[in-house]
Each structure stands twice: as C-alpha cells, then as structure tokens.
Amino acid sequence: MGLNAHRTALISGANRGIGAAVAKRLFDAGWAVSLGMRAPEMPGWANAAPERVHLFAYEATQADAGTSWASEVTDRFGRIDAVVANAGIMIPETIVDVSDADMAQLLEINVQAPRRLAAACWDVLGAAGNGRVILLGSLSGKRVKSAKSGSYSVSKFAVIGMAHALRHAGFDKGIRATAVCPGFVATDMAMAITDRAADAMTQPEDLARVIEMLIDLPNEASVAEFCVNCQLEESF
C-alpha cells in the first residue's frame, strides 16, 4: 500500500493529553498522522510504522504555521483527510479582571489558530470528498461554570460557533466539522484547576475513541456538537 493510500490527519497539541491519545488511536487504525508540537518528539508507538508519522514544530501563535504545516503534509503524504485542532490554553480569570494581553492570547490560540489551520487545509480537505475538522471545544463553551472560567468560556463559545460556520462553508464539498465539548478530562490542564481525582475524570483515550468515531461517520451522519461529561449537570 502506498503512502497516499493511507488516510492522513493533522493533530495539534499532539505531545500529550487528548492530542497524544487521538494521534495514537488514529495511527493504530492505519492512518498517517502529522503531529503538531511546540517541541517535536517522535512517540514510542510510532516505531511500529515510522513512515506513517510526520512531526511538525507547531506554534499556534505564528500566523503562517498552518500554511507551512499543510504544505509539508501534502508534500509528504499527498492528502489531508482530517484536522484535529486540539491545541489550546486556559487562563483562569474573570471576564472583568482578565488583561487585554491574556484575552488576546486566549482568542489567538483557542480561536484564531484552529481557524487558520482549517483554512490552510481547506482545499485538500475538500478534494478528499469527506474531509473532517474536529475542534476541541469544551463544556465551558456551552455554559459558564464559574466566574474564573469566564474568559476561557468566551473563547470556547467562539470555537463552537466556528464549528458551525465551518460546517456551512464546507458542506457542499463533503467537509464536516464537529465541536467536541468535554468537561474535565484527565490532562495537565484540568488537574491544574480542580481537586477531582484523575480517575474520576473523562480519560483522554476515551475522548480519542469518540473523535475517531466522529471522523469515521459518513457525510450523511453529520454531528455539529458532541458533549462529554464525567459528572452530572442539569443539561450535560
């Protein structure tokens, strides 16, 4: 099987947590994966088929990062079938107290960077006929849980809106976009802001199963939002 026969996915924030779990899940399913990391490092599991793994030094704040990344992947694998925009940050500040610089950083990394990445891959995703864009949203994009999560919530509300906007922009090209909206996931980010035990949170590997399923659904089973929670809430 030639390399261009393998479905190919770009995953940002692939060095740990959800991104690392998604990368391994897709790789194990036979995908070629391009791992966007600030400090690229080949994971151990890639030794099984290193020709299906590409590393890219991805810095979300660089305006041309998505374009450069998409170009490298297209040159290497000849196709892009899915983009998983996972890289993000959380700054625990109220919407009143957050500084202009911190708010700008939240919007730059959580909103602008995935928008630019999807746009950079757009034509190649469309050529696939069933391209997929997965945006890592959050339940914080569905409700504001606390004052301290307010600024982060603003950015994640925007991510969910962007998923819907991408669905409209790409539907006739066969591109489907989904905002995956988890609550607490057992990652460094979540464990820094809650006392909840890691085994009482959603596991990255389980979220990776969900994302693989969403990517594999046919064009006729489009999912705009997918919410996942480890605890009971009124609506989620």
Residue 234 counted as domain residue: no
Residue 84 counted as domain residue: yes
Tokens found for residue 102 = 């911190």
Residue 193 counted as domain residue: yes
Residue 79 counted as domain residue: yes
Residue 233 counted as domain residue: no
Residue 54 counted as domain residue: yes
Give the domain CATH number at 37: 3.40.50.720
Sign of CA dihedral 195, 196, 201, 205: positive
Residue 236 counted as domain residue: no
CB 175 within 8 A of CB 131: yes
pLDDT of residue 2: 47
Residue 1 — pLDDT band, cuts 50, 70, 90?
very low
> pTM of the full predicted structure?
0.96
pLDDT of residue 235: 85
Residue 235 counted as domain residue: no
Q: How many domains does the chain have?
A: 1
The domain of 212 spans 3-228
Mean pLDDT, residues 137-152 = 97
Q: What is the pLDDT of residues 73-126, one digit of tens each?
A: 999 999 999 999 999 999 999 999 999 999 999 999 999 999 999 999 999 999
